[in-house]
């Protein structure tokens, strides 16, 4: 469900799909009945616990307006957006978590424009300013589908992590480039990363794995250097690229750039259920991203 956390926008169909597929709460996803938002201290405490827990972990999404049964999305349970406005929720988040978490985004979804039937999708990023303290002066983190209080050593370790590097997968670009051969289709893929930490990162590696990749497909690294390698495994292709240049705090960098050479008559629709796995390794951790051939190559699918 981490891919859901990374979305830029959300619709009612996205939320309904979570219910239809029996999505479960996780380290990255929490469902809240619309009645969870009240104007008493209990609601204030719960908001601060959940927001701080995600920020102190790897980030995630809280959806206010979806009921759960045994941690599985079960039905829509709207928030009255006239009473509990987006501004009200923003104020509660800002005033109950210490220090305030930066870059939280609240996406309001109105059922057919009806404010009385509102869903709030709250995106919480992993914070480099933590640990963040809740309203009742405790520190929380995510543990599967729960927000649990940290032990003293965990809080101490969290403070120490602030000097560690933090790289993130910013995204990938897919574009078609002209080929001199009529029977070939050349598709360029670029992977960008972002240094959201406070220190320079010199050691990083990107690995992309295409499952069920056809043997007659070819790949060509754009840079002719020793930092690219590939291996065929489990009917798939893994391509890796080791970083050559340091990435400074706040800097974006192209960590991988290569071209796939495919037959001109390739049928992407036959591969749309196959998966693309992207892994970013760096000094103090790693990040993973998963998508489908359909999403990666959708503009080329006829």
The Cα-based distances of 290 to 63, 196, 209 in angstroms read 22, 21, 10
Delineate the domains of the chain, giving CATH numbers in brackets: 2-162 (3.30.950.30), 167-300 (2.60.40.10)
| pLDDT for the residue 197 | 82
| pLDDT for the residue 239 | 87
DSSP 300: G
| pLDDT for the residue 228 | 82
| pLDDT for the residue 216 | 60
| pLDDT for the residue 188 | 85
In the predicted model, residues of the chain with pLDDT beneath 70 are 1-3, 161-163, 179, 213-217, 223-226, 265-273, 293-294, 296-302
Burial (CB < 10 A; 0-12, 13-18, 19+), residue 236, is middle
Give yes or no for a contact between 240 and 255, defined as CB atoms under 8 angstroms apart. Answer: no
In degrees, rounded to 5, the angle at the alpha carbon of residue 97 between the alpha carbons of residues 93 and 100 is 85
Which helix (H) or strand (E) element contains residue 91? helix 86-96
Give yes or no for a contact between 222 and 244, defined as CB atoms under 8 angstroms apart. Answer: no
| pLDDT for the residue 161 | 67
126 phi/psi in degrees, rounded to 5: -65, 130
pLDDT digits (tens, 9 = 90+) for 110-121: 999 999 999 999
Strand, helix or coil for residue 46: helix
Q: What is the pTM of this model?
A: 0.58
For the chain, how big is the Rg over CA atoms in Å? Answer: 22
DSSP 267: -
């Amino acid at each position: 469900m981490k891919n859901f956390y990374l979305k830029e926008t959300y619709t009612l169909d996205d939320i309904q799909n979570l219910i239809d597929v029996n999505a479960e709460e996780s380290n990255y996803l929490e469902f809240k009945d619309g009645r969870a938002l009240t104007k008493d201290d209990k609601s204030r405490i719960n908001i601060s616990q959940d927001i701080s827990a995600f920020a102190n972990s790897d980030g995630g999404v809280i959806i206010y307006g979806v009921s759960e049964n045994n941690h599985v999305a079960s039905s829509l349970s709207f928030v009255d957006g006239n009473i509990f406005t987006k501004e009200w929720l923003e104020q509660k988040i800002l005033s109950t978590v210490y220090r305030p978490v930066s870059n939280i985004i609240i996406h309001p979804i109105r059922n057919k424009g009806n404010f009385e039937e509102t869903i709030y999708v709250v995106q919480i990023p992993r914070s480099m300013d933590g640990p963040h303290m809740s309203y009742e002066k405790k520190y929380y983190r995510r543990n599967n589908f729960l927000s649990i209080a940290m032990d003293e050593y965990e809080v101490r370790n969290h403070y120490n992590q602030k000097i560690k590097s933090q790289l993130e997968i910013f995204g990938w670009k897919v574009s078609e480039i002209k080929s001199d051969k009529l029977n070939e289709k050349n598709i360029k893929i670029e992977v960008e990363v972002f240094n959201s930490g406070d220190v320079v990162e010199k050691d990083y590696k990107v690995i992309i794995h295409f499952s069920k990749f056809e043997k007659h497909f070819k790949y060509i690294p754009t840079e002719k250097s020793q930092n690219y390698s590939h291996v065929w495994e489990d009917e798939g292709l893994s391509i890796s690229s080791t970083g050559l240049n340091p990435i400074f705090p706040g800097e974006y960098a192209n960590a991988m750039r290569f071209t796939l050479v495919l037959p001109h008559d390739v049928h992407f629709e036959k591969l749309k259920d196959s998966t693309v796995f992207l892994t970013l390794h760096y000094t103090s951790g790693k990040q993973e991203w998963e998508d489908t051939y359909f999403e990666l190559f959708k503009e080329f699918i006829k």
